[in-house]
Structure 1
Amino acid sequence: MKVKIASSKVIKPFYENNNPPPKTHTIPLSIFDKVTYDQHVAIIYAYHSPSPPNSTIELGLRKALAVYREWAGRLGRDGQGNPIIILNDEGVRFVEATVDRKLDQTLLLRPSASLLSLHPSLEGVVELVQVQVTRFSCGSMVVGFTAHHLVGDGHSTSNFLVAWGKACRGLNINPLPSHDRTIFSPRNPPKFEFEHRGVEYIAKNFKKVYPLVDNSVEDIVAHKVHYTSEFLAKLKAKASSMNGNNNKPFSTFESLVAHLWRVITKARGLNEFETTQIRISVDGRARLKSMVPNGYFGNLVLWAFARSKVNDLLDEPLHHAANLLHEAVINVNENYFKSFIDFANHKVKNEDLVPNTVSDTDESILWPNLEVDSWLRFPFYDLDFGEGGPYIFMPSFSPTEGMIFLLPSFVGDGSIDIFVPLFRQNLSTFKQICYSLD
Structure 2
Amino acid sequence: MRVKIGSSKLVKPFYEGNPPSTKDYIPLSVFDKVTYDQHVAIIYAYRPPTPPNAIIELGLKKALAVYREWAGRLGKDDNGEPIILLNNEGVRFVEASTDCALDHTAHIRPSSSLLSLHPSLESVVELVQVQITRFSCGSMVVGFTAHHLVADGNATSKFLVAWGQACRGLKINPRPFHDRTIFSPKNPPNFDFEHRGVEYITKSFKKVYPLIDNSVDDIVAHKIHYTAEFLSKLKAKASSNNGTNKPFSTFESLVAHLWRAITKARGINGLETTQVRISVDGRARLIPRVPNEYFGNLVLWAFARAKVKDLLSEPLPYAATLLHEAVANVNDNYFKSFIDFANHKVKGENLVPNAVADTNESILWPNLEVDSWLRFPFYDLDFGEGGPYIFMPSFSPTEGMIFLLPSFIGDGSIDVFVPLFRQNLTTFKQICFSLD
Aligned to 1:217: 216
Query: Per-residue displacement from partner, 1:133-152 (whole Å, max 9, x unpaired)?
Result: 00001000000000000000
Structure 2 matches for 1:79-118, cutoff 5 A? 79-118=78-117
Structure 2 matches for 1:3-82, cutoff 5 A? 3-17=3-17, 19-82=18-81
> Any conservation in 1 of the 2:165–2:171 contact (CA below 8 Å)?
yes
Aligned to 2:429: 431
- Give the residue type in structure 2 aligned to 1:150: L
Query: Per-residue displacement from partner, 1:96-141 (whole Å, max 9, x unpaired)?
Result: 0001010011135531000000000000100000000000010000
- Give the residue type in structure 2 aligned to 1:12: K
Aligned to 2:162: 163
Could you say if the C-alpha distance between residues 323 and 108 of structure 1 is closer, same or farther in structure 2, counting changes exceeding 3 Å?
farther
CA-CA distance at 1:410 after TM superposition: 1.3
> Any conservation in 2 of the 1:107–1:115 contact (CA below 8 Å)?
no
Matched, 1:393 2:391: yes
Find the residue that maps to 1:265 and give its secondary structure.
helix
Aligned equivalents of 2:302 and 2:335: distance in 1?
A: 11
- Give the residue type in structure 2 aligned to 1:127: E
Aligned to 1:233: 232
Aligned to 1:328: 326
- TM-score of the superposed pair, with normalisation by structure 2: 0.99
Deviates more, 1:286-295 or 1:336-345: 286-295
Find the residue that maps to 2:106 and give its secondary structure.
helix
Aligned to 1:340: 338
CA-CA distance at 1:289 after TM superposition: 4.5
Query: Per-residue displacement from partner, 1:45-94 (whole Å, max 9, x unpaired)?
Result: 00010011000000000000000000000001111111000000000000
Aligned equivalents of 1:319 and 1:107: distance in 2?
A: 38
- Give the residue type in structure 2 aligned to 1:32: F
Aligned equivalents of 2:369 and 2:106: distance in 1?
A: 25
CA-CA distance at 1:43 after TM superposition: 0.1
Aligned equivalents of 1:359 and 1:101: distance in 2?
A: 40
Matched, 1:138 2:125: no
Aligned equivalents of 1:16 and 1:110: distance in 2?
A: 40
CA-CA distance at 1:243 after TM superposition: 2.1
Find the residue that maps to 1:131 and give its secondary structure.
strand
In structure 2, list runs of 5 or more residues that go unmatched. none
Find the residue that maps to 1:106 and give its secondary structure.
coil
Aligned to 1:151: 150
Aligned equivalents of 2:11 and 2:252: distance in 1?
A: 42
CA-CA distance at 1:367 after TM superposition: 0.2
> Any conservation in 1 of the 2:242–2:321 contact (CA below 8 Å)?
no
CA-based RMSD of the aligned residues comes to 0.8
Aligned equivalents of 1:238 and 1:33: distance in 2?
A: 38
Structure 2 matches for 1:110-129, cutoff 5 A? 110-129=109-128
Aligned equivalents of 1:289 and 1:387: distance in 2?
A: 40
Aligned equivalents of 2:291 and 2:412: distance in 1?
A: 30
Find the residue that maps to 1:210 and give its secondary structure.
coil
Aligned equivalents of 2:364 and 2:33: distance in 1?
A: 22
> Any conservation in 2 of the 1:184–1:291 contact (CA below 8 Å)?
no
